[in-house]
Structure 1
Amino acid sequence: MAVKKQIIESCRGCGLTFNCVCDSLPSLVADWDLVLLTHPNETRRETNTGQWLRKSLAQCQVFEWSRTSIPAELTAILESPNHQPILLFPNDNSRLLTPTAIQGCSKRIVFIVLDGTWQEAQKMYNRSDWLKALPHWHIQMSGDSCYSLRRNQTSGHFCTLEVGIHLLSLSHRTTLPNNNSSEQLQQFFEHYLNVYQADKSGHQWKGSNHDQ
């Protein structure tokens, strides 16, 4: 007699089957806006971390990159007289992003982050003249990335969620020194890395009480 296997559906919110993290994701507010320009390949990856910035940060918007066009809503943001778009992408002329630099901007900053692998980010940049025309800043993060869900990661490169955590940390040092948004998101990130690997192995994460 054949035994019928029980089908367990994945959570529609986080995509995990045995370790839903929806209730663990903090709801955060920033004093700047964030645009994730996402490569089409990245939108289909389960390991995309930009999704967590979109779901946790009220000021985050996601647009899919296209070589031939710019979304109308994104164009409106870039052309708004009340906003200062800044591309977070290193080049020979990019400025180091610091708390003082953020505080010194007279307009509301719109950070633009290229969401994808480093190779995809370079491709998006090289094929988009409008990106090259934006002010370029870069961030300086110590240590190596904690992101362990993809192979062959290049040293010195960080995932999109880690970039968002760093931005929250920088901005809150001067404007909201008692705000712990970056710590909340960092805790979620570490928890997610653990439970994701357990989930893909087919079981619940059995960590510390803090992680459960």
Structure 2
Amino acid sequence: MKRNFCSKCRYPVKTCVCKYVSSTVHSRTQIIVLQHPDEANLAKNTARLLQLQLGNIQLYVGQDFQQLKALTCNQHCALLYPNEHAVTVQQIQQLPKLDILFVIDGTWKKAHKILALNAWLLDLQAVTFNVIPVNQYRIRKAEQPHSLSTLESVSLFLNQYEGIDQRPLLSLLNGMITEQTKLMPTHVKARYDL
């Protein structure tokens, strides 16, 4: 049976999130999401939510993003990624203002593959958080306890770096969770402690 999808949010009509989308969140920093292809059609895809609510965002699907390397030539760019050379958002505020923040959307394993195929990303300043809040993305099991969804990571960055209110983005995430869980059988909900 073919499912009908909402033309605006691209979620199935039964789990449409349009009623949770509030006014556009504007940021000075451009967010560029590099999404692994396996994430693109997942029902629990939070990068899709970011596109609905965030104004200054571009999303690219693939694994090889060599064509985007040119963007880093004349702009101040960083990569949101917790490696051993990462600085905190607070530390990066002491540097020239960021023009672009690259964000990898995928599991840790898929993120490592994207980094291996795009070594130029490792030349960018890596940015992380000094404290990771509790993950609000209750319907997708994280591989590591300190993991955040792409939406949570971007909204936390924008809150700490630009002082942007996270509530509209987190409300949209919670709305998507509400829509996804209302159709879940009880035994599936139990896996997520819902």
| Deviation sequence 1:142-177 (CA, Å, 0-9, x none) | 34312123245421111100011101211243xxxx
Specify which of 54, 74, 83 is matched with residue 57 of structure 1.
54
Task: State the partner residue of 1:196.
Answer: 180
Structure 2 Cα separation of the partners of residues 140 and 195 of structure 1: 32
Are 1:147 and 2:137 matched, yes or no? yes
1:15-164 equivalent positions in 2, closer than 5 A: 15-26=11-22, 27-67=24-64, 70-71=66-67, 74-79=68-73, 81=74, 83-98=75-90, 101-102=92-93, 104-151=94-141, 153-164=143-154
**How many Å apart are 1:76 and its aligned residue?**
3.8
Q: Give the TM-score normalised by the residue count of structure 2.
A: 0.82
**How many Å apart are 1:118 and its aligned residue?**
1.4
SS in 1 for 2:83: coil
AA of the residue aligned to 2:178: N
Q: Give the TM-score normalised by the residue count of structure 1.
A: 0.76
C-alpha contact (below 8 Å) 2:89/2:161 kept by paired residues: no
Percent identity, aligned pairs only, is 21
SS in 2 for 1:147: coil
**Cα distance change of structure 1 residues 153 and 91 upon mapping to structure 2, 3 Å threshold:** closer
Give me the CA root mean square deviation.
Answer: 2.4
Structure 1 Cα separation of the partners of residues 3 and 60 of structure 2: 32
Task: State the partner residue of 1:170.
Answer: 160
- Structure 1, unmatched stretches of 5+, are 174-178, 202-212
Specify which of 7, 10, 21 is matched with residue 12 of structure 1.
7
Structure 1 Cα separation of the partners of residues 154 and 145 of structure 2: 18
Question: Which is higher, the Rg of structure 1 or of structure 2?
Answer: 1
AA of the residue aligned to 1:77: L
Are 1:183 and 2:167 matched, yes or no? yes
Structure 1 Cα separation of the partners of residues 63 and 177 of structure 2: 30
Aligned positions, number: 183
SS in 1 for 2:66: coil
**How many Å apart are 1:17 and its aligned residue?**
2.5
Structure 1 Cα separation of the partners of residues 102 and 172 of structure 2: 23
SS in 2 for 1:37: strand
AA of the residue aligned to 2:45: N
SS in 2 for 1:50: helix
Q: Higher helix share goes to which structure?
A: 2
**Cα distance change of structure 1 residues 133 and 8 upon mapping to structure 2, 3 Å threshold:** closer
**How many Å apart are 1:109 and its aligned residue?**
2.7
